[in-house]
Amino acid sequence: MHNTSASAAGLNAQQRSAHIRAVVMAQGNTLRERYPILAHQDAIGVGILVFALAGMIGSAALYLGGYMAWWACLLLNAFFASLTHELEHDLIHSMYFRKQRVPHNLMLALVWMARPSTINPWIRRHLHLNHHKVSGTEADMEERAITNGEPWGIARLLMVGDNVMSSLIRMLRAKTWAHRFSILKRTLRVYAPLALLNWGAWYVFLGFHAANGIAGLMGTSVDWSANTLAVMQVIDIAVVVIVGPNVLRTFCLHFVSSNMHYYGDVESGNVMQQTQVLNPWWMWPLQAFCFNFGSTHGIHHFVVKEPFYIRQMTAPVAHKVMAEMGVRFNDFGTFGRANRFTPRGVEADASCGSELARES
């Protein structure tokens, strides 16, 4: 089924991409003229960071003081952490303090601390910029790492929300010990030190409570030492205020991102084939913890240098022109074909593949 607008007829993929880019950039300029405050990009970035960190710290304080339920603290901090992910992404593209390295790197350090489940952001910068160059191909290590192109099953379910489990499964799949050692060394390098602490605490938390649960089912109990119980009290708090929120945020982001990006049969450099807009109503619980990523990240592939809050504001216009030019919307078939662009039994449109596009 082809719903591409007549205005796109006769245009090749590059021309369609250029048209989308021009329309979206023009809308961004219109917004900046209408709201002069948007010109203060560095200050806005700092303000969002302060808001997110204050929210996380405030929620943690309310929980520790007995004024907030654990689940409310966990959900709120997952949302606040999702803001810091968007800031990190903008920082990777040098959108804040581009020529001032001290505040730029301080912001990178703070957003990393708010999301200790992630890789070193200075290393991620190289992976992400490479993602834009080779999106949808085997060389796109960033998306491959979060299961893009992986067939759905138990393995992908385990891998999509757990960075360390993803590395472990890839190690087990490796055919040589040299390859396994290479994966291990790379994992330790990119996740040290924060992610190793974060996921280590998560596994200790799961193991401790699983042991108690099994013992309870057997009508007995585990005789933990006082030191172990003291350590677990700290870990339990950490899981509520920062580890658990980032486990939830990671799962939501990776699930959405890995399924909105295409993989495996994408024409090199063809932005029209790299992503879809993934924004069905039933995905809102996931979108809430990755800041509407499925709906707006595709815009970023066309207009790279717009900060995330501008993408949210330009989305209505962007979605309209993207649909007109043939970008896909809510192509759920990607779940069943390991994120390949070409539907089974359907010949892909070589210029942009628009058979599933529709206006949002």
* pLDDT tens-place string over residues 147-195: 999 999 999 999 999 989 999 999 999 999 999 999 999 999 999 999 9
- DSSP for residue 242: I
Give the largest CA-CA distance in the chain.
74
* pLDDT tens-place string over residues 50-77: 999 999 999 999 999 999 999 999 999 9
Q: Which residues contact 18 (CB under 8 A, 6 or more apart)?
A: none
- 3-class SS at 275? strand
Q: How far apart are CA 231 and CA 354, in angstroms?
A: 55
* pLDDT tens-place string over residues 203-239: 999 999 999 999 999 999 999 999 999 999 999 999 9
Mean pLDDT of 13-40: 96
Alpha carbon separation from 326 to 277, 301, 337 (Å, rounded): 11, 15, 20
Q: How far apart are CA 3 and CA 25, in angstroms?
A: 24
- 3-class SS at 329? strand
- 3-class SS at 303? coil
- DSSP for residue 119: P
Percentage of residues of the chain with pLDDT beyond 90:
90
Q: How far apart are CA 134 and CA 90, in angstroms?
A: 19
* pLDDT tens-place string over residues 100-158: 999 999 999 999 999 999 999 999 999 999 999 999 999 999 999 999 999 999 999 99
Confidence of residue 286 (pLDDT cuts 50, 70, 90): very high
Alpha carbon separation from 248 to 178, 201, 239, 284 (Å, rounded): 33, 15, 11, 14
